[in-house]
A and B are shown apart, each in its own frame.
Chain A
Amino acid sequence: MDDAALAARGDRRAYERLYRANVGRIFSLCTRMCGSRERAEELTQDVFVRAWEKLPQFRGDSRFSTWLHRLAVNVVLNARKSDGRHRARETEDEDEQGMDAFAAPRQAPPGERLDLEAAIASLPPGARRVFVLHDVEGYKHEEIAEQLGVTAGGSKAQLHRARMLLREALTR
């Protein structure tokens, strides 16, 4: 019986093994999607707690890591709702619809090249999420559109914008 099946039956040691096998990938996803390592540590814990509760619903028709990854995307997307829901909304809502030039990504100190991770973190949230999901994690636009509640066309536009902004940040 594999670890996922054992964990679904309440075997915590099996779940810890699953945790160890997947934490890097999940943490990477969270960090890059939300732009902050500290917040990502909180979110990573949330993901594994949530996954434990939902394990009985894991049907085994995909790999556990795929299922976990999708759940992680959900957790990150919903976390931003809790964080920013009622305060002055981040312009991410506009940036998912409008395409006007947003604050330029952080420039590297003169003489230094910004590395890609830092450039990604400084992207506006909507563009960052699409970029991470598509170019880093390999999701398709249709899947991204469904998860983010946008159209596939919108996702493509955001991706292009993200890449252009990154290029600007990286080639200074």
Chain B
Amino acid sequence: MIALTCDRFEDRLSALMEGETAAAEREQLEAHASACSRCGPLLVELRAIVREAGDLPELLPSRDLWEGVAARIETPVVQIEPRQAPLVVRRGLSWRTAAAAAAVLVALTALATWRIAATGVDSQGTERIAAAVEPPVTAPPSNPSAGTTPPVDTAPAPDRMAPAPRSLTARPRATTPAVSAPAVRNAAADAATAVYDREIASLRSMLDTRRAELDSATVRVLEENLTIIDRAIAQSRQALAQDPNSTFLIDHLNSALGRKVQLLRTVTLIPASS
């Protein structure tokens, strides 16, 4: 019998441990192991690892996860078709329904923005700006690992939006106007703002309805990015409170709010993950 080399033993080690060697070869390998100071311990240690792995105790989470599960299974998921129907049909329908709804919401939002823009300038050509003079609110970061289901959008509702007069002439704009006129409330602008707030709330509730369908990684990405936008919105509003007449800041806040709507809209178009 040819003496078994350690290299050969290592090649066949996996087969040996899987029980895939013929009896004769197995004897040969075991014999080598019992006589070899290198291969012997190797085999013993590997077998010990396998044994220990099979005996590993059950791990338990650091907290009770049931609340998180219960919250997600309780969220009503709009069923377009009964569960027995082919998934592909269900998914297709709900995507289209959601897309149609989202398209309507975006159209309304665009209308709201247009109306706000159109109400900005009065007959004397002076810009009338109704600024939201609320103290800036910083949105607390959402804690996805909490047992309860936090609202995905942590910014306080409503997001007040100041109207944006669209006077894009080439005249220079002073950075800090000397005007100290108090903020003037503009009824039409407020009405348009209310429309905007309603659309964000609608989209947000559509998102909440869908949370059960979305996996945790997706929810995390959404929450991270909503936090980024909400921070931008909060910073813009804070700056605007210091400088209520800045057209730049008004425009900027508008686009941040618009981006939020876009984000929420994207969520409604995500196909269900089940």
Contacts and interface: CB of A to CB of B under 8 A. Distances in A.
A and B touch in the complex (CB under 8 A): yes
Interface in B65-113: 65-66, 68-70, 72-74, 83-84
B13 interface: yes
Contact of A53 (B50, B53, B274): B274
B16 to A, nearest CB: 10
B132 interface: no
A164 to B, nearest CB: 8
Contacts of A20: 66
Interface residues of A, number: 50
A167 B51 CA distance: 13
A172 B59 CA distance: 25
Interface size class, chain B = 35 or more
A164 B58 CA distance: 24
Interface stretch (A23-31, A62-70, A89-97): A23-31
B218 interface: yes
B2 interface: no
A93 B63 CA distance: 33
A74 B241 CA distance: 51
B65 A44 contact: yes
Interface in B1-40: 13-14, 17-18
Given A45-B65, A49-B212, A163-B50, A31 B59 contact: yes
Given A37-B62, A40-B61, A170-B49, A49 B69 contact: yes
B62 A41 contact: yes
Interface of B: 13-14, 17-18, 42, 45-46, 49-50, 52-54, 56, 58-63, 65-66, 68-70, 72-74, 83-84, 144-145, 212, 215-218, 220, 274
B216 A43 contact: yes
Contacts of B61: 23, 27, 37, 40-41, 44
A113 interface: no
Contacts of B68: 45
B145 A79 contact: no
A159 B14 contact: yes
Given A135-B53, A160-B14, 19 more contacts: A19-B69, A24-B58, A27-B58, A42-B144, A42-B216, A44-B65, A46-B215, A46-B216, A49-B212, A54-B274, A56-B84, A79-B215, A136-B53, A160-B13, A163-B17, A163-B46, A164-B46, A166-B49, A170-B49
A83 interface: yes
